Amino acid sequence: MKTHEVAGNIMGSLEAFHGSRPAMDTPQILIVRGMSRKDIQPEELETVVFNLLNEIGARKIDMFSDEASDIIGVMDEYIRESVEIPGETDIYGIYKLKESFEAMNCHMEYAMGLLDGIALFMVLWMDKSGLGPKFVELVVANLEV
């Protein structure tokens, strides 16, 4: 599956493949969580995220664009096909994500990319204390279903 290949490349680059776990794995969407073993400083999170998109050949998508809203809607549909979620889709909730992490005393960075019909949404976060692991959350969706 191409979603697995994309996720594997990203998790491998972040040295987060070992011990990572899929939270959801269907033909349409793969959600993976893991912990990066790379030495990443908080001020490097943005650079790391965007370099990863370039490394795998993905086109960065502006998070505040109509294209991003459409992709978030598709990802939400795929998730709702497997899990019952009450309420309507709130594509604007993702924009508040950074505020939520900062309120929990965490540094975080996220990005969305598109690669050959595969959309991905990646989040890297870590505690502001500098202690503990760097967490990776990755959503990879097949838009060519």
> Which pTM value belongs to this model?
0.90
Q: Residue 97 has what pLDDT?
A: 82
- Give the H or E element holding residue 137: strand 134-142
Do 58 and 114 meet the contact criterion of CB atoms below 8 Å apart? yes
pLDDT tens figures, 111-139:
999 999 999 999 999 999 877 889 999 99
Instruction: Tell me what percent of the residues of the chain surpass a pLDDT of 90.
Output: 64
**CA–CA separation, 57 vs 43, rounded Å?**
23
Mean pLDDT confidence for 39-50? 92
Mean pLDDT, the chain, integer: 89
Mean pLDDT confidence for 16-41? 91
| pLDDT for 142 beyond 70 | yes
Q: Residue 120 has what pLDDT?
A: 96
Q: Residue 24 has what pLDDT?
A: 94
Mean pLDDT confidence for 78-100? 78
46-49 long-range contacts, Cβ below 8 Å, gap at least 24? 46/109, 48/14, 48/109, 48/124, 49/109, 49/110, 49/111, 49/122, 49/124
Domain boundaries of the chain, sorted by first residue? 2-142
Q: How confident is the model at residue 36 (pLDDT cuts 50, 70, 90)?
A: very high
